[in-house]
């Protein structure tokens, strides 16, 4: 029976750790070509533009010996040019895996339901599980452990946070969220993450005060205040999130050896100041690199 990678919550803590262990092994052989995906083809179905996601998947498939085909919105416009059902069934006859980056969570869920091959969620409006895997791989690289660590996420309770919160809950990293009223994470996803956190003996806390959230933490995480498709809200959001900027004054409240994380792209001077994101505590490019290794681990699990 085929298995998809749509949400972190679909996998156990042990399975998440297995992905990370595999990603670490793959990273040790960075750039070396294998043949695990020899004779296999992977379709990248992208409704949204991308830098890290598209390149990391294309390179990852190549390094595993497979063939990667990019299909942008001009080729496939899910539910508009052609039904999602027809796209899923047709691609299943051609390729061994579908990687989809979409606007609406319903599109990725429908693809997974109708496709006869594994579907990987490369981002939707509700989840970003591939980013979360790379994030927790980076956290363990930097700190060596998960238990006892605390991550503060300051900003918008968006798709990136949903998956990151769940991944941390699965492996035992405490999470504190701070954001303005009206931008909290989805209550149902928070509930599921808290249930997972109970099992791994860590805590999920949702609040408003960025100073309280950051106090003594090992990891500070930020994301853009205005995501793709929200450009008409820019002025409103910049005003509402102003107090949630990661700057020197806020960061000094964290652990002296804290790391700063950001999934990129970043807007220096808005959600984070240049001295923080480009400073000695920043691990943003380690995160970006680890997208390659974590996604290769997922491909090997689902396709081989």
Q: Which residues 6+ apart lie within 8 Å of 298 measured at CB?
A: 5, 19, 120, 130, 133
- Is 269 inside any structural domain? yes
Same domain, 230 and 156: yes
Same domain, 275 and 183: yes
107: CATH? 3.40.50.1370
> Average pLDDT of 78-99?
92
What is the full DSSP assignment across 40-79?
Answer: -EEEEEESS--SHHHHHHHHHHHHTT-EEEEE-TTT--BT
* Domain finish residue from 92, 127, 162: 127
Same domain, 116 and 136: no
- Which candidate, 95, 92, 196, 101, places its Cα nearest to that of 146? 196
Instruction: Please indicate whether residue 263 is annotated as part of the active site.
Output: yes
pLDDT in tens, 108-166: 999 999 999 999 999 999 999 999 999 999 999 999 999 999 999 999 999 999 999 99
Range of the domain at 271: 131-287
Active-site residue identified among 101, 176, 237, 293: 101
Instruction: Please indicate whether residue 128 is annotated as part of the active site.
Output: yes
* pTM of this structure: 0.97
Instruction: Please indicate whether residue 255 is annotated as part of the active site.
Output: no
Instruction: Please indicate whether residue 101 is annotated as part of the active site.
Output: yes
pLDDT in tens, 51-68: 999 999 999 999 999 999
Active-site residue identified among 7, 223, 245, 287: 223
Active-site residue identified among 54, 96, 126, 128: 128
* Domain finish residue from 106, 127, 148: 127
Strand 41-46 relative to strand 97-101: parallel, antiparallel, unpaired? Answer: parallel
Same domain, 220 and 89: no
For the chain, how many structural domains are there in total? Answer: 2
Length of the chain counted residue by residue = 304
> Average pLDDT of 7-34?
96
Active-site residue identified among 131, 137, 245, 287: 131
Active-site residue identified among 110, 263, 281, 295: 263
- Specify which residues 178 forms β-bridges with: 154, 207
Same domain, 136 and 68: no
């Amino acid at each position: 029976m085929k298995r998809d990678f749509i949400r972190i919550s679909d996998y156990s803590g042990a399975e998440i750790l297995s992905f990370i262990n595999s990603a670490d092994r793959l990273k040790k052989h960075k750039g070396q070509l294998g043949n695990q995906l020899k004779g296999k083809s992977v379709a990248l179905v992208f409704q949204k533009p991308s830098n890290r996601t598209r390149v990391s998947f294309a390179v990852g498939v190549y390094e595993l010996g497979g063939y990667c085909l990019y299909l942008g919105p001009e080729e496939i416009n899910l539910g508009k040019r052609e039904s999602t059902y027809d796209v899923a069934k047709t691609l299943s006859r051609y390729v061994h895996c579908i990687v989809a980056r979409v606007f609406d969570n319903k599109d990725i869920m429908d693809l997974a339901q109708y496709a006869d091959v594994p579907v990987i969620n490369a981002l939707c409006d509700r989840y970003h599980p591939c980013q979360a895997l790379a994030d927790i791989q980076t956290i363990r690289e930097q700190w060596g452990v998960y238990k006892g660590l605390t991550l503060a996420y300051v900003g918008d309770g968006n798709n990136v946070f949903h998956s990151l919160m769940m991944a941390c809950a699965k492996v035992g990293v405490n999470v504190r969220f701070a954001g303005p009223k009206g931008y909290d994470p989805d209550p149902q996803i928070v509930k599921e993450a808290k249930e997972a956190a109970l099992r791994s003996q860590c805590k999920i806390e949702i609040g408003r005060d960025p100073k309280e959230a950051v106090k003594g933490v090992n990891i500070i995480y930020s994301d853009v205040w205005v995501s793709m498709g929200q450009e008409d809200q820019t002025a409103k959001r910049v005003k509402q999130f102003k107090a949630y900027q990661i700057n020197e004054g806020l960061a000094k409240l964290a652990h002296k050896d804290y790391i700063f994380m950001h999934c990129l792209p970043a807007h220096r001077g808005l959600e984070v100041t240049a001295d923080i994101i480009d400073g000695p505590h920043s691990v943003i490019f380690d995160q970006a690199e680890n997208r390659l290794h974590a996604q290769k681990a997922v491909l090997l699990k689902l396709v081989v």
